[in-house]
Protein backbone atom coordinates (compact mmCIF):
# COMPACT_ATOMS: atom_id res chain seq x y z
CA UNK A 1 0.00 0.00 0.00
CA UNK A 2 2.87 2.32 0.79
CA UNK A 3 4.31 1.80 -2.70
CA UNK A 4 0.92 2.55 -4.28
CA UNK A 5 0.57 5.65 -2.13
CA UNK A 6 4.06 6.86 -3.02
CA UNK A 7 3.39 6.32 -6.74
CA UNK A 8 0.03 8.09 -6.60
CA UNK A 9 1.28 11.03 -4.57
CA UNK A 10 4.80 11.54 -5.93
CA UNK A 11 5.53 9.71 -9.19
CA UNK A 12 2.19 9.94 -11.00
CA UNK A 13 1.89 13.77 -10.77
CA UNK A 14 5.43 14.15 -12.13
CA UNK A 15 4.78 11.78 -15.02
CA UNK A 16 1.44 13.43 -15.75
CA UNK A 17 2.93 16.94 -15.83
CA UNK A 18 5.82 15.74 -18.00
CA UNK A 19 3.36 14.20 -20.47
CA UNK A 20 1.21 17.34 -20.54
CA UNK A 21 4.30 19.50 -21.08
CA UNK A 22 5.53 17.32 -23.96
CA UNK A 23 2.09 17.40 -25.62
CA UNK A 24 1.78 21.19 -25.25
CA UNK A 25 5.28 21.81 -26.56
CA UNK A 26 4.66 19.49 -29.51
CA UNK A 27 1.40 21.25 -30.36
CA UNK A 28 2.95 24.70 -30.05
CA UNK A 29 5.95 23.70 -32.17
CA UNK A 30 3.69 22.16 -34.77
CA UNK A 31 1.56 25.29 -35.01
CA UNK A 32 4.66 27.50 -35.24
CA UNK A 33 6.24 25.41 -37.98
CA UNK A 34 3.02 25.15 -39.96
CA UNK A 35 2.45 28.93 -39.90
CA UNK A 36 6.06 30.16 -40.00
CA UNK A 37 6.10 30.80 -43.75
CA UNK A 38 2.76 32.60 -43.61
CA UNK A 39 3.88 34.80 -40.71
CA UNK A 40 7.11 35.75 -42.50
CA UNK A 41 5.19 36.45 -45.68
CA UNK A 42 2.79 38.74 -43.82
CA UNK A 43 5.67 40.53 -42.10
CA UNK A 44 7.35 41.11 -45.47
CA UNK A 45 4.09 42.41 -46.94
CA UNK A 46 3.59 44.75 -43.98
CA UNK A 47 7.08 46.21 -44.34
CA UNK A 48 6.70 46.67 -48.08
CA UNK A 49 3.38 48.45 -47.62
CA UNK A 50 5.04 50.77 -45.11
CA UNK A 51 7.97 51.54 -47.42
CA UNK A 52 5.66 52.40 -50.31
CA UNK A 53 3.45 54.54 -48.07
CA UNK A 54 6.47 56.39 -46.66
CA UNK A 55 7.52 57.22 -50.22
CA UNK A 56 4.14 58.81 -50.92
CA UNK A 57 3.06 56.05 -53.29
CA UNK A 58 -0.61 55.03 -53.14
CA UNK A 59 -0.66 51.52 -51.69
CA UNK A 60 -2.97 48.95 -53.36
CA UNK A 61 -5.29 46.91 -51.19
CA UNK A 62 -4.49 43.71 -53.05
CA UNK A 63 -1.47 41.91 -51.62
CA UNK A 64 -0.14 40.71 -54.98
CA UNK A 65 -0.41 44.22 -56.41
CA UNK A 66 1.62 45.50 -53.46
CA UNK A 67 4.34 42.94 -54.17
CA UNK A 68 4.36 43.79 -57.89
CA UNK A 69 4.51 47.54 -57.26
CA UNK A 70 7.30 47.08 -54.73
CA UNK A 71 9.38 44.99 -57.15
CA UNK A 72 8.92 47.62 -59.87
CA UNK A 73 9.70 50.71 -57.80
CA UNK A 74 11.90 49.72 -54.85
CA UNK A 75 15.55 48.71 -54.67
CA UNK A 76 16.99 47.36 -51.42
CA UNK A 77 20.46 48.84 -50.90
CA UNK A 78 22.80 46.75 -48.75
CA UNK A 79 26.33 47.05 -47.40
CA UNK A 80 29.25 44.78 -48.25
CA UNK A 81 28.03 42.20 -45.73
CA UNK A 82 24.55 42.07 -47.25
CA UNK A 83 22.94 44.03 -44.41
CA UNK A 84 20.08 46.27 -45.50
CA UNK A 85 20.95 49.98 -45.36
CA UNK A 86 17.99 51.70 -46.97
CA UNK A 87 15.43 51.53 -49.76
CA UNK A 88 15.78 53.49 -53.01
CA UNK A 89 12.38 54.24 -54.55
CA UNK A 90 12.31 54.94 -58.27
CA UNK A 91 10.50 58.14 -59.24
CA UNK A 92 7.84 58.31 -61.93
CA UNK A 93 8.27 59.91 -65.37
CA UNK A 94 11.89 60.85 -64.85
CA UNK A 95 11.45 62.33 -61.38
CA UNK A 96 14.36 61.78 -58.97
CA UNK A 97 14.51 58.71 -56.79
CA UNK A 98 13.57 59.01 -53.13
CA UNK A 99 14.68 57.02 -50.11
CA UNK A 100 13.22 55.20 -47.14
CA UNK A 101 14.82 53.76 -44.03
CA UNK A 102 13.45 51.53 -41.29
CA UNK A 103 14.28 52.93 -37.88
CA UNK A 104 13.40 51.85 -34.33
CA UNK A 105 13.28 53.41 -30.89
CA UNK A 106 11.72 52.84 -27.46
CA UNK A 107 8.06 53.62 -26.92
CA UNK A 108 5.97 53.62 -23.76
CA UNK A 109 5.28 49.86 -23.77
CA UNK A 110 7.85 48.52 -26.17
CA UNK A 111 9.83 49.19 -29.31
CA UNK A 112 8.37 51.38 -32.06
CA UNK A 113 9.56 50.72 -35.61
CA UNK A 114 8.76 53.01 -38.52
CA UNK A 115 9.53 53.43 -42.20
CA UNK A 116 10.72 57.00 -42.79
CA UNK A 117 10.66 58.38 -46.33
CA UNK A 118 12.82 61.19 -47.72
CA UNK A 119 13.11 63.12 -50.96
CA UNK A 120 16.13 62.46 -53.15
CA UNK A 121 18.05 65.46 -51.79
CA UNK A 122 16.94 64.70 -48.21
CA UNK A 123 15.42 68.18 -47.95
CA UNK A 124 11.98 66.94 -46.88
CA UNK A 125 10.14 63.88 -45.66
CA UNK A 126 7.90 62.12 -48.15
CA UNK A 127 6.05 60.35 -45.35
CA UNK A 128 6.23 57.76 -42.61
CA UNK A 129 4.41 54.62 -41.59
CA UNK A 130 4.60 52.49 -38.47
CA UNK A 131 5.61 48.86 -38.80
CA UNK A 132 5.58 47.92 -35.13
CA UNK A 133 4.11 49.55 -32.02
CA UNK A 134 2.60 48.44 -28.72
CA UNK A 135 1.20 51.73 -27.51
CA UNK A 136 -2.04 52.16 -25.55
CA UNK A 137 -5.16 51.69 -27.75
CA UNK A 138 -7.09 54.93 -28.10
CA UNK A 139 -4.14 56.98 -26.83
CA UNK A 140 -0.58 56.35 -27.95
CA UNK A 141 -1.71 53.91 -30.64
CA UNK A 142 -3.25 56.89 -32.45
CA UNK A 143 0.18 57.40 -34.02
CA UNK A 144 -1.04 54.97 -36.69
CA UNK A 145 -3.96 57.25 -37.63
CA UNK A 146 -3.70 58.98 -41.01
CA UNK A 147 -3.88 62.55 -39.63
CA UNK A 148 -0.84 61.97 -37.44
CA UNK A 149 1.28 60.36 -40.14
CA UNK A 150 0.29 62.72 -42.94
CA UNK A 151 1.38 65.84 -41.06
CA UNK A 152 5.04 64.94 -41.66
CA UNK A 153 4.81 64.84 -45.46
CA UNK A 154 6.64 67.69 -47.16
CA UNK A 155 8.32 68.84 -43.93
CA UNK A 156 11.82 68.27 -42.63
CA UNK A 157 12.97 68.19 -39.05
CA UNK A 158 14.27 68.32 -36.51
CA UNK A 159 10.66 68.59 -35.37
CA UNK A 160 9.08 69.91 -32.23
CA UNK A 161 5.79 68.68 -30.77
CA UNK A 162 3.03 71.16 -29.93
CA UNK A 163 -0.44 70.53 -28.43
CA UNK A 164 -2.81 68.70 -30.75
CA UNK A 165 -4.43 71.03 -33.26
CA UNK A 166 -1.97 73.92 -32.84
CA UNK A 167 0.87 73.06 -35.28
CA UNK A 168 1.59 76.02 -37.54
CA UNK A 169 5.33 76.26 -38.20
CA UNK A 170 7.22 74.17 -40.74
CA UNK A 171 8.98 72.26 -37.97
CA UNK A 172 5.92 71.88 -35.73
CA UNK A 173 3.80 68.72 -35.55
CA UNK A 174 0.76 67.95 -33.44
CA UNK A 175 1.23 65.68 -30.45
CA UNK A 176 -1.50 63.31 -29.30
CA UNK A 177 -3.65 64.54 -26.44
CA UNK A 178 -3.27 62.29 -23.41
CA UNK A 179 -0.27 60.45 -24.85
CA UNK A 180 2.64 62.72 -24.00
CA UNK A 181 5.19 59.96 -23.48
CA UNK A 182 4.34 58.25 -26.77
CA UNK A 183 4.40 61.58 -28.62
CA UNK A 184 7.84 62.34 -27.15
CA UNK A 185 9.06 58.85 -28.06
CA UNK A 186 7.91 59.23 -31.66
CA UNK A 187 9.49 62.68 -31.86
CA UNK A 188 12.81 61.26 -30.67
CA UNK A 189 12.53 58.35 -33.12
CA UNK A 190 11.80 60.55 -36.13
CA UNK A 191 14.45 63.16 -35.36
CA UNK A 192 16.96 60.37 -34.75
CA UNK A 193 15.90 58.71 -38.01
CA UNK A 194 16.51 61.91 -39.95
CA UNK A 195 20.07 62.08 -38.62
CA UNK A 196 20.58 58.37 -39.30
CA UNK A 197 19.28 58.68 -42.87
CA UNK A 198 21.90 61.30 -43.71
CA UNK A 199 24.66 58.92 -42.66
CA UNK A 200 23.50 55.60 -44.08
CA UNK A 201 22.29 56.93 -47.42
CA UNK A 202 25.68 58.59 -47.98
CA UNK A 203 27.37 55.34 -46.88
CA UNK A 204 25.39 53.37 -49.43
CA UNK A 205 26.09 55.79 -52.26
CA UNK A 206 22.56 57.09 -52.31
CA UNK A 207 23.63 60.66 -52.85
Please give the chain's pLDDT, 207 residues, in tens. 455 666 566 677 777 788 888 888 877 777 766 665 556 778 999 999 999 999 999 999 999 999 999 999 999 999 889 999 999 999 887 778 999 999 999 999 999 999 999 999 999 999 999 999 999 999 999 999 999 999 999 999 899 999 999 998 888 999 999 999 999 999 999 999 999 998 888 766 555
The residue extents of the domains of the chain are 47-203
Cis peptide before 199 (omega within 30 of 0): no
The angle formed by the CA atoms of residues 106, 112 and 117, to the nearest 5 degrees, is 120
Taking CB atoms within 8 Å and a gap of at least 24, the contacts of 50-53 are 50/102, 50/114, 50/115, 50/129, 50/130, 50/131, 51/87, 51/89, 51/100, 51/102, 51/115, 51/117, 51/129, 52/89, 53/115, 53/117, 53/127, 53/129
Enter the pTM of the model: 0.80
Amino acid sequence: MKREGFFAERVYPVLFMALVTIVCISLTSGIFLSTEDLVRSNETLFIRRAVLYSAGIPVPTNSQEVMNLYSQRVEEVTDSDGELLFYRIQGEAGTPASFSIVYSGPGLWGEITAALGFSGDLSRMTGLDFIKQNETPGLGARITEAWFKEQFRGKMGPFVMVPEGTARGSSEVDSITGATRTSDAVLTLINGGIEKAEKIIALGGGR
